[in-house]
Structure 1
Amino acid sequence: MKISDFQTKDVINIVDGKKLGQISDLELDLRQGRIDSIVVPAATRFFGMLGGGNEVVIPWRNIVKIGADVVLVRLDDAKPHRAEDNEAANR
Structure 2
Amino acid sequence: MTLTELQMKDIILMENGKRVGNVSDLEINAQNGHISAIVVTLRGKMMGLFGKEEELVVPWNQIITIGTDIILIKSPEQVSIIEEAGK
The number of aligned residues is 82
User: Percent of counterpart pairs with the same letter?
Assistant: 34
Deviation at 1:76, TM superposition (A): 4.2
Counterparts in 2 of 1:23 and 1:3: CA distance versus 1, 3 Å: same
Structure in which a larger fraction of residues adopt strand: 2
Aligned to 2:81: 80
Measure the CA separation in 2 of the matches of 1:31 and 1:80.
24
Measure the CA separation in 1 of the matches of 2:70 and 2:14.
11
- Indicate whether 1:58 and 2:49 are aligned: no
Superposition RMSD on alpha carbons, in Å?
Answer: 1.9
Could you state the TM-score of these two structures normalised by the residue count of structure 2? 0.81
Residues 53-87 of structure 1: CA deviation (Å, up to 9, x unaligned): 21000000000000000000002426632236xxx
Gaps of 5+ in 2: none
